Structure 1
């Protein structure tokens, strides 16, 4: 689910909305003719507006537009390079950008960005530059919670483009006819039957062992019902905390707005798994590991405690044999007792 699986290539003469519209409409038409379902729910790209407008005009206004996080960071770096700020200050800006990118919901993201703009309002022109990544429709959805379980960057596509240029086209310019023949061979190569697209999340034995270890610690989680959305939220303690407090849950849902640092502290004090009526492996977590790897042991713990899943036997991390300590026993019992 977090990898690109190309099935088609198109050649256009310009990079305008009409050209992109033609490509998307042709793709949708061919899928219809071949009986292939073509329901596009989200579209990820860089900040090119013509590309995003064309996608929405073809696939519908419901289409969620995801702005590539990598391109956002590159644009922030480019803007900071024009300032006279110290390298330490620039690094802190980028670090804060990476932390607010982990926002689990739109409300959290907007709150974090507002506090972020307040914190760096003194940077010349930075607040005006960054506002479009907070409020503009075509640029704002670059945080992980915008589409949980899917990439927040198009890095896999860029890596594919590089592989095609270096390994299939040898970085040479060729006539269109020759290029078309080579591209067809690339389509066949990436369209082989053994290149299966995984549509479901998978959890490794290591994930299950981490879940087993967490359950063994005896740390206490808390379940909160959200009757408005008909879901349950399971909150986990973080760090060395043994349980989640009501104050931490309240702070997570209504984070401190005094400063960005207070907000980030509240967000990192607990992790939340949203338990819906769907299959358990489709549940989402708010921890960084889940956002970057599309799975985490918190979801497994939630599934086990709710009775939706049972860990595999190999998830048991207890040693098979407990080694006897050396020396004589500290306490001795009588070998024979006579009444």
Structure 2
């Protein structure tokens, strides 16, 4: 699907010759796996590496440039410190779900959006759900241009959930949010609708249609209101 969409994109912007030449060289021939979903289960950002670099600059080099002799001493100290504080961390096999994710999933579950079973076997079921936007596009509709592809690609999502409800976190979706976080409101919401899981009470205290604000929910009410 991606390769077909890529070809349609190049045709659409063929008159932008300089850009297309650059795009094909950098993102078609040299770096082919740049898009979300190209490598299942892999990190999509280098945040962990940047965090590591930050600790080096703030705790060891203090953002200064050293001559080689001094740099070797600092590196030796870093290795000694890290080797003494190294802790083995277990690899997570399931995504972490934050409160905002629970809230979004719960609100989606309560939206009453139509869900259709596409296929099923002894291990999993595949569900078809319409996206949030209103669309007259039919699922599986053929397309012949990049603009038509966008309409078809974002009109529906497919969600796969295992039959074993205890493994619902291993479910998959083809929406953009899932490719970023490996969890999305569709997987969570469908698990809630199927009674695979019960969302935390805090996820239900936001009115339907309102997004949860960032940060931890406030425990204290405004002044002059009895708790």
TM-score normalised to the size of structure 2?
0.70
* Aligned length in residues: 201
Runs of 5+ unmatched residues, structure 2: 208-227
Residue matched to 1:141 = 33
- Please state whether the residue corresponding to 1:222 is helix, strand or coil: strand
Q: Distance in 1 between matches of 2:83 and 2:131?
A: 47
Q: Check the 8 A contact 1:213/1:317 in 2, yes or no.
A: no
Distance 2:84 2:182 in 1: 27
Q: Of 20, 23, 39, which residue of structure 2 is paired with 1:130?
A: 23
CA contact (8 A) 1:168 1:186 kept: no
Change (3 A) 1:315 1:267: same
Query: d(CA) in 1 for partners of 2:60 and 2:90?
Result: 21
**Is 2:96 the counterpart of 1:210?**
no
Please, what TM-score do these two structures have when normalized by structure 1? 0.50
Assess if the C-alpha contact under 8 Å between 2:127 and 2:160 holds in 1.
yes
Q: How does 1:223-262 map to 2 (within 5 A)?
A: 223-225=117-119, 231-239=124-132, 241=134, 248-251=138-141, 256=143, 258-262=144-148
Q: CA deviation at 1:215?
A: 2.4
> 1:143, 1:152 within 8 Å by CA — same for their partners in 2?
no
Aligned counterpart, 1:274 = 160
Cα distance in 1, alignment partners of residues 52 and 2 from structure 2? 30
Q: Secondary structure at the match of 2:4?
A: helix
RMSD: 3.3
Deviation of 1:216 after TM superposition, in Å, equals 2.2
**Alignment match of 2:60 (pick from 152, 168, 177):** 168
Task: List, as ranges, runs of 4+ consecutive aligned residues in structure 1 with deviation greater than 6 Å.
Answer: none
Q: CA deviation at 1:168?
A: 1.7
Secondary structure at 1:265 match in 2:
helix
Partner of 1:181: 76
C-alpha contact 2:172 2:187 (8 A) present in aligned 1: yes
